[in-house]
Structure 1
């Protein structure tokens, strides 16, 4: 166990204690806002370092970006940016905006979601004149969505009935996005005539995403609000942990929680893996809600029905599991695009194999460049529970597991060197994350690397994080948000503390 941020006991008399399980973005956000409002908090993190899926990675002397592709809320005039500043996440750092949001190659053509909407329209319309009108309607929707601002001040369950009813429907951009939520990105892509456009719109976001998610994300990228902070997710975690300790919080790493103590309809504290009992006024589970209920509460209490539905209805709420391979290559040999998807010879894998590579390079951030070599990450989406169970079974056979990763890494390296001749013989494999790793290390549902992705069949359902029949315990994290992402984890941490303050009659 490693303990950080211990303070004198005399200074803390009278403060209500909160145990926070999990030291990811949501746990840190909860701790910071709780400390600001007079609570005494301790974050219990099972792993040796803070950060959860955003924890910094190092291998062969090289820093790796484990998760972040873009961060929402980096523009200084937005409410979300103020939340990042309040928690220290973007303190004293600069965002870098790549030239493109996403690029796809298919059928001899290239579709680039670039940083200029007019350039995007003209280049794609030149590629496929018969799709011009459809592309114009898409660009118009993106421009209108630029005015939308997600709720950051208060969760819906704490709003007045009138304000809660209005919600996103109170603005033109909000009503537009609500309509586009019912359109599957997969179905929308099929409306284009040119195969490159169909491919680009199908590949730009994880499987199951909606047109609303693309329109909103691309509009934020064009406005400069969706970018990459220097230092990546590890930098955000480091700055938030520093702010948390400065606010007087206590951080205990390598100290997993074994059980949540519940008695007489209320959470009373936690039991650590080492047997230590910690009695508290509140318990916050900043981890996968299913793990919190199934393991930490030993199935004694269930989630609210709207959250339970997300686990039981994969056709409406999909999860994004993937195999993520990390490579390095000389900086000058990398593609200019931030994220590039291109066809390749079929790589043997589960199902029909892999026929496309999705490559993200990090040369625009000096944090991930060492001795002239920069990080490359290649993602392979893993669809369905059966595919996850295959990786889970493999992980139980270490020799077979390592061999599967080696074969996949070798095939991927060869595909990279074939597509980029300048990389020939220069690509080095650094490591791999599989769904089994996300399940084992972070207890994530079906090895998901993010939370749920609402599909076109899903309907907005605000969640509270409360468990029926159990007070003084709240769930928090991106699993409760309308979409996945670090910004959702940040906001859910803030909303959790607002709910506690409401229950404790604290302004």
Structure 2
């Protein structure tokens, strides 16, 4: 044990836990330092009033057996003995007196939409063809491109072949532009609302293709159980986890990372450091601006038009399970809800009654999301947080408006809806050190470009980044893969065979 090389891993989210597991399995001695009292990072889950609450995950990618991503989840024991719920719809929208549901059967979606708007039949059939073709896409989890030989890279590219060509073409089409082509306002609304603002047609086509194929589903027990299983595997393999242990600084000397200093003042020397938290926070705060990210990653943070961040105010309620909407996620029109000094006239809600473990004494979670995209919204909440009482007053105002909107849309909830808590962009900034309070990493837009990021910092050896910020799309699956890739790069540098 004493001869093992030591790695300090910052952050016990999916990326940090994955990096810790893979590193332990390849002969390293790791310690994960987590600032919160429990592991999980962005995967927030808790119990309130005896009711399990899911704070982040709506769906999980990589749930179809036999796929590389599914195998990757199982390598870290995240899905052991897990059952999956396959909801009837990916997203449902009410608008102009109609209901548009991106249901699990693609033909049903198209036929229902054509009944509402026969004149949009051609465009719907075109969308159907895109989705069917995208079902052949395989996420690359074998190893990072920067470690591939030319032959390996060729094999990876050929695996997706024509699908990649299609997605590259659709990546240049903003989803809002595609939505505008529809004649019927309900269809226009559905295609605008289904993904965060700025998203591309390629992103929707790929997500929907994975959903109808069963590769995007809901793991019973939610993200909390995934984190528990990963943590157990990490500890079973002799990893060390320290919670309530925020890192103050990364020790760097002579062009190499040499350990970490905790907020408590404890100084810990290691051979390597993996930062599985926000890259901007890592460079600005933990490295005190002495080292910068690789230029392709810097560009993402410096170009918000092409690489926008996305956050929201998320309000959690409990309600009788039989009063919840049938759709898992539903967007509907409301009276104007005050938000970041402006107003939102739509509300998106997600209910969790389809997971039996989330129903207790006939009640289940209902979560309402109010979008707060970009830096301006974050600055609004940041300014409120330093004013005495103003932050809580705004939360109370927003919670009251959202509850009224829910009771108006679902009259059977009146007097039965219980407000639990609220997350704002400041929640994500404080808990995750997330850039501009983002609850996910960058939204892929038509202006963004895929990049082969390495997670390395120019001029600083023995230091690697991991996490969803390094992927072309965000999510738990990206964090998982990037955690694996970080350790593969480390093994490559240490000349350790990856098996």
Name the TM tier (shorter chain). over 0.9
Could you tell me which residue of structure 1 aligns to residue 187 of structure 2? Answer: 197
Could you tell me which residue of structure 1 aligns to residue 52 of structure 2? Answer: 63
- TM-score computed with the length of structure 1 as normaliser: 0.96
- 1:406 equivalent to 2:368? Answer no
Could you tell me which residue of structure 1 aligns to residue 410 of structure 2? Answer: 420
The correspondence of residues 226-241 of structure 1 with structure 2, limited to 5 A, is 226-241=216-231
Q: Decide whether the 8 Å contact of 1:55 with 1:237 is kept in 2.
A: no
Could you tell me which residue of structure 1 aligns to residue 33 of structure 2? Answer: 44
Aligned length: 496
- Equivalent position to 1:153, from 142, 154, 166: 142
- Equivalent position to 1:74, from 53, 63, 66: 63
Q: Distance in 2 between matches of 1:164 and 1:409?
A: 50
Higher alpha-carbon deviation: 285-294 or 383-392: 383-392
Higher alpha-carbon deviation: 165-174 or 345-354: 165-174
Could you tell me which residue of structure 1 aligns to residue 301 of structure 2? Answer: 311
Compute the displacement of 1:349 (Å): 2.5
- 1:108 equivalent to 2:125? Answer no
Q: Distance in 2 between matches of 1:351 and 1:406?
A: 14
Could you tell me which residue of structure 1 aligns to residue 435 of structure 2? Answer: 445
Could you tell me which residue of structure 1 aligns to residue 121 of structure 2? Answer: 132
What SS class does the counterpart of residue 480 from structure 2 fall into?
A: helix
Could you tell me which residue of structure 2 aligns to residue 9 of structure 1? Answer: none
- Equivalent position to 1:188, from 178, 181, 200: 178
Could you tell me which residue of structure 1 aligns to residue 318 of structure 2? Answer: 328
- Equivalent position to 1:257, from 247, 252, 273: 247
CA offset digits 1:302-331 (Å, max 9, x no partner): 000000000000011111111000011100
Q: Decide whether the 8 Å contact of 2:296 with 2:451 is kept in 1.
A: yes
What SS class does the counterpart of residue 53 from structure 1 fall into?
A: coil
Q: Distance in 1 between matches of 2:164 and 2:388?
A: 49
Compute the displacement of 1:59 (Å): 2.6
Compute the displacement of 1:167 (Å): 5.0
Q: Distance in 1 between matches of 2:154 and 2:458?
A: 23
What SS class does the counterpart of residue 178 from structure 2 fall into?
A: helix
Indicate the RMSD between aligned Cα atoms, in angstroms: 1.2
CA offset digits 1:345-397 (Å, max 9, x no partner): 11122354010010000001123222111001111111231211110111122
CA offset digits 1:252-280 (Å, max 9, x no partner): 00011111110111001111111111111
Q: Distance in 2 between matches of 1:13 and 1:347?
A: 59
Higher alpha-carbon deviation: 416-425 or 236-245: 416-425
Could you tell me which residue of structure 2 aligns to residue 291 of structure 1? Answer: 281
Q: Distance in 1 between matches of 2:340 and 2:8?
A: 41
Q: Distance in 1 between matches of 2:61 and 2:133?
A: 18
Could you tell me which residue of structure 2 aligns to residue 142 of structure 1? Answer: 131
Change (3 A) 1:398 1:96: farther
CA offset digits 1:24-64 (Å, max 9, x no partner): 00000000000111111000001111111113223333221
Could you tell me which residue of structure 1 aligns to residue 372 of structure 2? Answer: 382
Q: Distance in 2 between matches of 1:389 and 1:24?
A: 26
Q: Distance in 1 between matches of 2:47 and 2:379?
A: 28
Q: Distance in 2 between matches of 1:402 and 1:366?
A: 33
CA offset digits 1:453-486 (Å, max 9, x no partner): 1210111111000000000000110000110000
Q: Distance in 1 between matches of 2:208 and 2:188?
A: 17
What SS class does the counterpart of residue 52 from structure 1 fall into?
A: coil
Compute the displacement of 1:398 (Å): 4.6
Compute the displacement of 1:440 (Å): 1.2
Compute the displacement of 1:166 (Å): 7.0
Q: Decide whether the 8 Å contact of 2:5 with 2:270 is kept in 1.
A: yes
Q: Decide whether the 8 Å contact of 2:203 with 2:444 is kept in 1.
A: no
Q: Distance in 2 between matches of 1:357 and 1:372?
A: 24
What SS class does the counterpart of residue 353 from structure 1 fall into?
A: strand
- 1:279 equivalent to 2:272? Answer no
- 1:300 equivalent to 2:287? Answer no
Q: Distance in 2 between matches of 1:195 and 1:166?
A: 43
Q: Distance in 2 between matches of 1:492 and 1:379?
A: 27
Structure 2 spans left out of the alignment, 5+ residues: none
Could you tell me which residue of structure 1 aligns to residue 351 of structure 2? Answer: 361
Q: Decide whether the 8 Å contact of 2:318 with 2:417 is kept in 1.
A: yes
Q: Distance in 1 between matches of 2:100 and 2:388?
A: 41
Q: Decide whether the 8 Å contact of 2:308 with 2:442 is kept in 1.
A: yes
Could you tell me which residue of structure 2 aligns to residue 246 of structure 1? Answer: 236
- 1:118 equivalent to 2:121? Answer no
- 1:345 equivalent to 2:362? Answer no
